Amino acid sequence: MRPQPLIAVSDVEASSRWYQQLLGCRSAHGGTEYERLISGDALILQLHRWDIEHHHGPIGDPDIRPYGNGVLLWFEVDDIDAAVARGERMKAQVLMPRHRNPPSGDGGGPSGGSSAQAPARQQRPGPRPGAFGSGPQT
């Protein structure tokens, strides 16, 4: 099984650029309606424009807020310091300081370690990711 995270956004191209810059990923599709972002050969995120129904119908209602309430997209990166530096260059607003987040249980996750987090929010205009781990709220 492989996760296929998809979030609805108002501006696919701006959201794609933001995530590519922050996460160091790349486009595997491109376009104004839909995007696939990959790291290496692995899909990490799909972006879909709110008002495009394609063959599946609407993804969500852009008039219902807050966007993403109860949703957290968590990205594990190889170099958290580099990701934080990219966020700072992007003028992302830090919501809480970077900290270690040990997994529940014996303190060792699949890799036997902890993860560092540095939640941030992009300032307007453009997509507004709620944290390095949450998706755009556009």
List, in order of start, the domains of the chain with CATH numbers: 6-99+114-121 (3.10.180.10)
Average pLDDT score over the chain:
76
Q: Which DSSP letter does residue 64 get?
A: S
Task: Give pLDDT, residue 42.
Answer: 95
User: Can you list the alpha helix ranges (DSSP code H) found in the chain?
Assistant: 12-23, 80-89
Check residue 103 and give its pLDDT. 65
How does strand 115-117 pair with strand 93-94? unpaired
pLDDT tens digits, 57-105? 777 788 888 877 777 777 888 888 898 889 889 998 777 777 777 666 5
